[in-house]
Amino acid sequence: MSFVEYGDTIKDGDTAIVFLGHESMFPVKVQHGTVTQTKYGVIRHSMDLIGKKYGSKVTCSKGGWVFILHPTPELWTMNLPHRTQILYSTDISIITMMLELKPGSIVCESGTGSGSLSHALIRTVAPTGHLYTVEFHQQRAEKAREEFREHGVDHLVTVTNQDVCKNGFGVSNIADAVFLDIPSPWEAIGHAKSALKAEGGRICSFSPCIEQVQRTCLAMEEYGFTEINTLEILLRVYNVRTISLQIPDLGKAAEDNSSAGFDSSNPSNQGSPCTNLQQGTVQFKSGVPLREMVGHTGYLTFATKS
């Protein structure tokens, strides 16, 4: 099993995603002799998982069932253990595109955090590219190394435990792109420029506060970066609902009777059908935004090394 290459069958030691529903799933490390508890009952790894195909429907001990999915960066983002705040698919997709990443690209990242973006970057640059990721916190760096090894992508990533603002990324003039997600990105712009290739490398900085963006943009200008621009990506989710609305009374029947000389004061006309006209309702499908949703996540500042 690898987050980069698809494996057909579930093996001992794999990371798999247990899918109970669109709003309920979680990762599990497959181990011989282990059991996993769910609301539908027990899943026995030896009998129910190992040797089965990914995507299989597995019946639990209480009679309910779940699907076992092959892990992907998208599923991992939704289910990973949070050691820090993470980036989600909305921001990850625009970062990957705006940094012009492709198979074979060399990318520098700081900080590693929970590894949400890291897995997406690795999948994008594989099989010949490489990710150099720097994490200030020692325990988080060690945990990231362990996860990359378990997920079969450790040959595509180098994890370094150091302060990127003081010591940089540990590489020079080879990176196609640099990504910064640190409290003071302006202090690392010089090191980012040194890590980037001689010309045309791209840089992205993620910051939740506009004051951070202002200082980062000034530092980018100082170090000669061009095409500096900042984006804010807002996701708005819609649910499809059936809505009932009254058919509007536009007064057409009254106008027709008026043009024909209809007199409502005449007793002989008081039994006319138009006086008993009842408005009906019509049902149709409509997209309705959620009442509560994630708003601002952060600002993405992009620039190019001139």
pLDDT tens for each residue of 28-76 = 999 999 999 999 999 999 999 999 999 999 999 998 999 999 999 999 9
Q: Indicate the pTM of the whole model.
A: 0.84
Whole-angstrom distance, CA of residue 32 vs CA of residue 22: 27
Would you say 104 is a known binding-site residue?
A: no
**Distance (Å, rounded) from C-alpha 110 to C-alpha 107?**
10
The per-residue pLDDT for range 207-221, each reduced to its tens digit, is 999 999 999 999 999
Identify the structural domains of the chain with CATH numbers, from first to last. 9-71 (3.10.330.20), 75-234+295-305 (3.40.50.150)
Residue 142 is assigned to a ligand binding site: no
Mean pLDDT of 146-171: 96
The answer to whether 147 is annotated as binding is: no
Residue 114 marked in a binding site:
yes
Is 256 marked as binding a ligand?
no
- The pLDDT of residue 265 is 53
Asked if pLDDT for residue 227 goes beyond 60, the answer is yes
Per-residue pLDDT reduced to its tens digit, 163-210? 999 999 999 999 999 999 999 999 999 999 999 999 899 999 999 999
In tens, the pLDDT along 64-119 reads 999 999 999 999 999 999 999 999 999 999 999 999 999 999 999 999 999 999 99
Query: Taking CA 104 as the corner, what is the angle to CA 134 and CA 172, rounded to the nearest 5 degrees?
Result: 45
Give the C-alpha separation, 205 to 215, whole Å.
11
Q: Is 163 annotated as a binding residue?
A: yes
145 to 11, 80, 112, 149, 254: CA distances (angstroms): 21, 15, 10, 6, 77
251 is in an annotated binding site: no
